[in-house]
Amino acid sequence: MDGNGRWAKARGLPRQAGHEAGTENLRRVIRACVEFGIKVLTIYAFSTENWGRPHWEINALMHILENVIDKELDELDREGVQLRHLGEPDRLPRRLQEKVRQAVERTRHNERLIVNVAFNYGGRDEIVRAIRRIIADGIPAEQITEELVERYLYTAGLPDPDLIIRTSGELRVSNFLIWQGAYAEYYSTPTYWPDFDKEELRKALIHYGQRERRFGTLVAQS
């Protein structure tokens, strides 16, 4: 969800205003996903590298996530949204850790839309932690397969992403779903995240629908 800061700067506003606008937009995008029949949405909210940002900005992002849970959880639950957390909660403030845990537990049986919130998440870190758990479980090297590794990832039991959207014109993967996105289609748009509305999402889906997905073969797969 790139471009919050640049969106704010273009309007002469502080960066926090951009993050708040981006959070407001998330509500609209989630509703659009439900309308379009999307079953799994993963949002990259805070990376393991984001800890290098100014302290005040980190605190603001933590506060925004807490406010989102407080204000939106009831409606998300009513709408049948299941919340999941991708990443390690250990560096989050304890109060926020507990709110994330409660939100995940409360919505765990909802099936209309799964929303993965990648917060304190990094693709490389995820793979390293998966390897450590495999070793800790004493699994012999010859028994390690792709299917086994997938069971140790945060996204265990979920399909790999079909489409990864990058807003604000960036063309980097930025440590996002490195394993899961191996065959995902990528879509980059110059639109800043706060302006990435329902119609922008529709454009991305139409563009995706025109791709031929071969997964390394010569025959396109639907």
Confidence band, pLDDT 50/70/90 cuts, at residue 104 = very high
Catalytic residues: 2, 50
CA atoms within a 13 Å half-sphere pointing along the CA-CB vector of 59: 3
Distance CA 166, CA 19 (A): 16
Residue-level pLDDT at 218: 67
With the C-alpha atoms ordered 58, 47, 77, 113, is the resulting torsion angle positive or negative?
A: positive
Q: Among positive and negative, which fits the CA dihedral 117, 122, 125, 126?
A: positive
Span 167-181, average pLDDT: 95
DSSP structural state of residue 191: S
* pLDDT value of position 221: 67
Give the number of domains in the chain.
2
Both 171 and 129 in one domain: the answer is no
Q: In the predicted model, is pLDDT for residue 5 greater than 90?
A: yes
The separation between CA 92 and the C-alpha centre of its own chain, rounded to angstroms, equals 17
Mean pLDDT is lowest, of 63-72, 102-111, 138-147, for 63-72
pTM attached to this predicted model: 0.93
If asked whether residues 21 and 94 sit together in one domain, one would say: yes
Q: What integer is the mean pLDDT of 115-135?
A: 98
Whether the CA torsion 95, 177, 106, 26 is positive or negative: it is positive
Write the pLDDT tens digit of every residue in 39-63.
999 999 999 999 999 999 999 899 9
Q: Which residues pair with 119 in a beta bridge?
A: 46
Last residue of a domain, one of 141, 156, 171: 156
What element of type H or E holds 114? strand 113-121
Q: Which domain holds residue 133?
A: 123-156
CATH value at residue 96 = 3.40.1180.10
